[in-house]
Amino acid sequence: MPVCAIAPFPTALATSCDARWRPHDLLRLRRLDALADEPAWVSDAFERAPYAVVRRAFAADGFVAIGVRGVQRAQRYGTWVHADDIVGTVSPESLAQMQPDAGRNALPSFIALTFLQGDPCGPLSRFVWGPTGSAGFELATHVPTVNEASDLDLLIRAPEPLASDVARALLEQLQTLAARIGVRIDAQLETPAGGVALAEWAADKVRVLARHASGPRLVVDPWAAVAHDGIA
């Protein structure tokens, strides 16, 4: 997040993530406590849609790291919320077959999503997946968020090793679809080591960047045991 609040607990207590909520889950919140140093747009954004996304950061017991999104692309604010203020959860995969509201399905991101939803033998048919980013936020909240230039962000659950040739084939299929529609599709693999860009894993690099609550780290194998220093 470009802007982040000061944690409402001593940093020494930020040692874990509550397994009930995973990165990219959208949380419906009862309230969001205002902080003295938060950007002016945060309260308006929360009033518009009382949701926040789970972000990759450690928290103290009873808290969850979240990100609030504003109307503009640069308006992102990282903070923490008390678990007692969470009243609902929307996972990316729960949105995989959801349709946008009337009049919104002609936007490029939603055209691409509709194609992926409607193809039982398509590139994502063997995976558990779902939309994140602006498309996921709009589907969950019914607040117009996607525009003509929006990417389609996808999360693909990958708890088991994914062969690089399979990743390349998947990436090529998604890129072909994106080129045909005129939209950028950005897919992320959710692995035991954290979030890994599909494009990086498909490139067969020696090491790939894995986004984890402890911070980004380079790993050789996102499915191998990760050493305590974050390098596999």
Beta bridge partners of 68: 77
Residue at 172: amino acid letter: E
Q: What is the tens place of the pLDDT at every residue in 36-73?
A: 789 999 999 999 999 999 999 999 999 999 999 999 88
* Long-range pairs, 217-225, Cβ under 8 A, ≥24: 217/193, 219/193, 221/161, 221/193, 222/158, 222/189, 222/191, 222/192, 222/193, 222/194, 222/196, 223/160, 223/161, 223/191, 223/192, 223/193, 224/193
CB 49 within 8 A of CB 27: no
First to last CA, the chain: 26
Query: Does 44 qualify as catalytic in the annotation?
Result: no
Query: Does 25 qualify as catalytic in the annotation?
Result: no
Task: Tokens for 188, please give them.
Answer: 């992320």
Residue at 225: amino acid letter: A
pLDDT band at 1 (very low <50, low <70, confident <90, very high): low
Percent above pLDDT 90 for the chain: 87
Q: What is the tens place of the pLDDT at every residue in 76-134?
A: 999 999 999 999 999 999 999 999 999 999 999 999 999 999 988 899 999 999 999 99
The C-alpha atoms of residue 131 and residue 54 are separated, in whole angstroms, by: 14
Residue at 187: amino acid letter: A
Catalytic residue, from 25, 37, 84, 151: name it: 151
Domain spans of the chain? 3-90, 93-219
